[in-house]
Chains A and B, each alone.
Chain A
Amino acid sequence: MNATVDDDLWSAIGDPTRRRMLDLLLVGPGTATALSERLPVTRQAVAKHLAVLDRVGLVRVTPAGRERRYEVDQDQLARAVAQLADVGATWDARLQRIKRIAEAIARAGHDAAHDPEHEPKHHRGD
């Protein structure tokens, strides 16, 4: 696991518009004009976002007539996603355990409430 953090890379992928752009570019390469038609931002804004993605190596650029065509650099994206996923995955695992523990307690309380040997259990806060 890569323990070092690339701040610029995180910064680039941390923006929702840029993530949406990567999402669109994963379907296939595109130009700033094509992307701006599918996003609620101007072509100029798209171009600025693409420059950020280019700077951190998340996209590769090739000339296409008067425009430039952008495609996702899969290796760099994999690296960024791995970094994102690491923190998210630890929380996913913790939340699954919280769910399991709480549901086990709830079931135990429910069973006790329906067991004639036991007094019905009071809910805290009643």
Chain B
Amino acid sequence: MEFGSIEREIFVEASPEIVFEVISTPEHIRDWWNGAETDVRATPGAEADIAWGRGSADEHVEHLTVVRAEPPRLFSFRWVADDTGALLVTFELTPSGAGTSLRMTETGFREKGWEAAVLEATYADHVRGWDLFVPNIADHARRLAASR
């Protein structure tokens, strides 16, 4: 297994306070994370389950531990933990103009990363894009290389 990371940055036309609330409270997490049910609190050390498809045959539950919660600047948590390690997701919020620059990194053992992505895809009601990249692999690979 390889230690890898994904990095993304996005500009949000909303204050860091609002963005922090969206990334760290259960009611909003449900909306952006494919219907995930969790009772996580934005407190360092807080532990919670995060579940998809509760009550269905495909139910999937992961454990989540908040590592850092410093509103409205930083929120990070570990998930998909087992004896081989865990994935660490970090959100960094920086005021930018009239909004917020939101930077997300997910680091960890890539094999777990793929598994998590695949599991989640099962519950992805409106996540398309699996084949978005296939039509022009060379172009995509070029952009990918340039952005890393």
In the complex, A14 has a CB within 8 A of chain B: yes
Inter-subunit contact A125/B17 (CB<8 Å): yes
Number of A-B contacts defined by CB within 8 Å: 144
**Distance (whole angstroms) from the CB of B10 to the closest CB of chain A:** 5
**Distance (whole angstroms) from the CB of A21 to the closest CB of chain B:** 9
In the complex, A82 has a CB within 8 A of chain B: yes
Q: How far is the CA of A91 from the CA of B19 in the complex (A)?
A: 16
A82-B134, A98-B22 known; A89 and B110 CB under 8 Å? no
Inter-subunit contact B32/A94 (CB<8 Å): yes
A7-B1, A87-B6, A105-B22 known; A23 and B12 CB under 8 Å? no
Q: How far is the CA of A14 from the CA of B148 in the complex (A)?
A: 10
Contact of A90 among B127, B137, B148 (CB under 8 A): B127
Inter-subunit contact B10/A89 (CB<8 Å): no
Could you say which residues of chain B place their CB within 8 Å of the CB of A94? 32-33
Q: Which residues of B contact A (CB under 8 A)?
A: 1-2, 4, 6, 8, 10-15, 17-19, 21-23, 28, 31-33, 71-72, 99-100, 102, 104, 106, 110-111, 113-118, 120-121, 124, 126-127, 129-130, 132-134, 137-138, 140-142, 144-146, 148
Inter-subunit contact B2/A7 (CB<8 Å): yes
Inter-subunit contact A10/B130 (CB<8 Å): no
Inter-subunit contact A89/B127 (CB<8 Å): yes
Contact of B118 among A1, A91, A97, A105 (CB under 8 A): A1
Contact of B137 among A81, A98, A125 (CB under 8 A): A81
In the complex, A77 has a CB within 8 A of chain B: yes
Interface residues of A in 69-120 (CB under 8 A from B): 74, 77-78, 81-99, 101-103, 105-106, 109
**Distance (whole angstroms) from the CB of B17 to the closest CB of chain A:** 4
Contact of B141 among A7, A14, A26, A91 (CB under 8 A): A26
Inter-subunit contact B120/A90 (CB<8 Å): yes
Inter-subunit contact A81/B32 (CB<8 Å): no
Kindly list the 8 A-B residue pairs having the minimum CB-CB distance in the complex, ordered from nearest: A106-B14, A97-B32, A102-B14, A23-B145, A19-B145, A89-B129, A85-B133, A124-B17
Could you say which residues of chain B place their CB within 8 Å of the CB of A103? 12-14
Contact of B106 among A19, A81, A91 (CB under 8 A): A91
Could you say which residues of chain A place their CB within 8 Å of the CB of B72? 124-125
Q: How far is the CA of A19 from the CA of B147 in the complex (A)?
A: 10
**Distance (whole angstroms) from the CB of B137 to the closest CB of chain A:** 4
**Distance (whole angstroms) from the CB of B129 to the closest CB of chain A:** 4
Q: List 7 A-B contacts (CB under 8 A).
A: A22-B141, A84-B144, A98-B19, A98-B102, A101-B31, A101-B32, A103-B12
